[in-house]
Amino acid sequence: MSRSPADSMQLEGRFWLDRGGKPFLGPGRVALLERIDACRSIAEAARAMGMGYKTAWDLVDAMNQLAEQPLVVRVKGGRQGGGTELTDYGRSVVATFRALERDYVAMLETLGARYPGFGAFDAHPRPPRLRTSARNQWSGHVTGIERHGFGALVTVDIGAGAPVQAALSMNAIEELGLTDGSEVHVLVKATAIGIGVVAGWGGSGGNRLHGVIGHLQLDAGGERAELTLAIAASRHVLAIIDPAMIAALGLQAGVAAWAQFEPAAVILAVGD
């Protein structure tokens, strides 16, 4: 039985650097460093990436603690009025990570070309896809747990250039055994996702993932529309929206857009 190209197995992987057995650098953390370097502010970088200031600060602090030298420092005074910036060492670390990441992708492409149709072999097998009603499922790993009373915001790197946060109770975190580095499945229902075309729309809270609209289709009754947003790392976000939004926002294939959803709408699952 022949298989279509969509059914063929592909080599995929997520590049991540640990230090001393602890998560150090990954796509999401490096994207945060790049944002800080561009706007010279942790608060502005966090806002642009759709994460809370404390989460961003905790990530920066964790990276600084693990690095041989500080990656990010505060700067006082000067013509630009001070702020936060990457050190020369921090910029070199970011550049080195991006170079290693490119080599890693090239390695996977080389292996894929060398072993076409390799069947069950997979250089970096993904966690099994769960059978759930949630249309959005992404695998990732925990990069931070920020406690708030009886609950916490759990930050997950899904390799999409921006983290996803889930609001969980402390009991749920303990039952799942979540710690920094834990591998998890992130689940979000398509009906819980809003779509906008302006950065920062909908307020300062919630998760935001940026991408390009790849598919947009009305259902048979014209009562709702299904939209697929292509984000980084070959990931996609599927949203069910009101058809009236299509004309109101000028939505069509190829248009850049933002997917937004609340941390309370995110479910985390782990394998046994």
The one-character DSSP state at 254 is T
Is residue 77 located within the same domain as residue 30?
A: yes
Q: Please, how many CA atoms are within 13 Å of residue 13, restricted to the half-sphere of its CB?
A: 18
What band does 31 get if pLDDT is binned at 50, 70 and 90? confident
The confidence score (pLDDT) of residue 174 equals: 84
Nearest to 72 by CA among 20, 27, 25: 25
Is residue 56 located within the same domain as residue 167?
A: no
Q: What is the CATH number of the domain that holds 31?
A: 1.10.10.10
- Would you say residue 180 lies in a domain? yes
The one-character DSSP state at 182 is -
The confidence score (pLDDT) of residue 81 equals: 54
Distance CA 120, CA 213 (A): 32
DSSP of 191-203, one letter per residue?
GG-EEESSTTTT-
Q: What percent of the chain has pLDDT over 90?
A: 31
Average pLDDT over residues 169-191: 88
Tens digits of residue pLDDT in 83-132: 899 999 999 999 998 888 888 878 877 877 777 665 444 444 444 556 67
Tens digits of residue pLDDT in 51-62: 778 888 888 999
Gyration radius of the chain over CA positions: 20
- Would you say residue 215 lies in a domain? yes
Q: Give bridge partners of residue 227 from the DSSP assignment.
A: 216, 239
What is the domain extent for residue 218? 134-272
Other beta carbons within 10 Å of 2: 4
Is residue 151 located within the same domain as residue 241?
A: yes
The confidence score (pLDDT) of residue 9 equals: 59
Domains in the chain: how many in total? 2
